[in-house]
Amino acid sequence: MRDLSDLINIRFAISGKIELDWERIELDQEWQMLSERFDLDDPEQKNAALTKYLLGYLSQEQILAMMPVTNGPADLLGLNVEIL
């Protein structure tokens, strides 16, 4: 009979880098709605808006969803975005 000892919790970390195109960001309706709440002329607020925009997409990712040994996709914890 199966019990809780059959389940193994794993914690992992992933780091990545991506290049974004401002013209394409500005065409995205998600950006258009989100950026209205920020003063994009202020570099700090522009970075805050971009961070929030990226976190929105990252939180929708389904990491390891297709791996047959999992009970579902990975829970993404402590998402972090750094503007370089």
Report pLDDT for 3: 84
Distance of CA 46 to the CA centre of its chain: 18
Is the model's pLDDT at 1 over the cut of 80?
no
| Residue-range domain boundaries for the chain | 42-84
In contact, 73 and 62? CB cutoff 8 Å = yes
Report pLDDT for 57: 95
In contact, 23 and 29? CB cutoff 8 Å = no
Q: What is the pLDDT of residues 4-63, one digit of tens each?
A: 888 999 999 999 999 999 999 999 999 999 999 999 999 999 999 999 999 999 999 999
Residue 6, φ and ψ in degrees, nearest 5: -80, -15
